[in-house]
Amino acid sequence: MSGNLSLHRGNILDVACDAIVNAANSALMGGGGVDGAIHRAAGPRLKEACRPLAPCPTGEVRVTPGFQLGDRLVFHTVGPVWRGGGEGEPALLEACYRNCLDELVRRELVSIAFPAISTGVYGYPPQSAAAVAVTICRAFVERHEVDITLAAFDQINYDAIATALSAPG
């Protein structure tokens, strides 16, 4: 059994999938970056749906409908703030990816799109973040028939993910 792992250049909102992952903060009340884009596109009901689910600890996931995003659910996860790498950031970033993927399968859904969690405001180096994302997702598609898209909004993250994907697994 095996799934598929691919790279999308551009806006995560353009990816057709069952679950869009949001790089949120623990308050789940929206913000800038991909969080802001998802909240704007989903409409104000998203914030109301998030309210009772907060706070979301780093590494965990909370699920809401996508409202104006159509049938797509939103998986809100909170990436680690980069503090130099010695404060458990890699394990927390791994947990974000793993918990979202486990949630996808638990709900019997088959496709998911991730942004480059933590690589914006939270300052995680793109190359290190890409290595985590690709390692976790690659291992997952070897065991599950799911379709995972890694969405890279900027050239630096695109190049980092493409390089990680081309490295032997």
**Shortest approach of ligand APR to residue 152 CB, angstroms?**
7
Based on the shown chain and the rule CB under 6 A, indicate whether residue 58 belongs to the binding site for ligand APR.
Answer: no
Q: Which is nearer to ligand APR, 128 or 157 (CB)?
A: 157
Question: For residues 62 and 152, what is the distance between their CA atoms, to the nearest angstrom?
Answer: 22
CB 27 within 8 A of CB 58: no
Strands 73-78 and 61-64: antiparallel
Based on the shown chain and the rule CB under 6 A, indicate whether residue 75 belongs to the binding site for ligand APR.
Answer: no
Based on the shown chain and the rule CB under 6 A, indicate whether residue 66 belongs to the binding site for ligand APR.
Answer: no
Q: Which is nearer to ligand APR, 84 or 168 (CB)?
A: 84
Q: Locate 166 and state its tokens.
A: 């081309």
Strands (DSSP E) along the chain, which ranges? 4-9, 19-24, 61-64, 73-78, 111-114, 147-152
**Catalytic residue (choose from 35, 71, 102, 147):** 35
The catalytic residues are: 35
| Sites of contact with ligand APR (CB under 6 A) | 11-13, 23-25, 31-37, 79, 115-122, 151, 153-154, 157
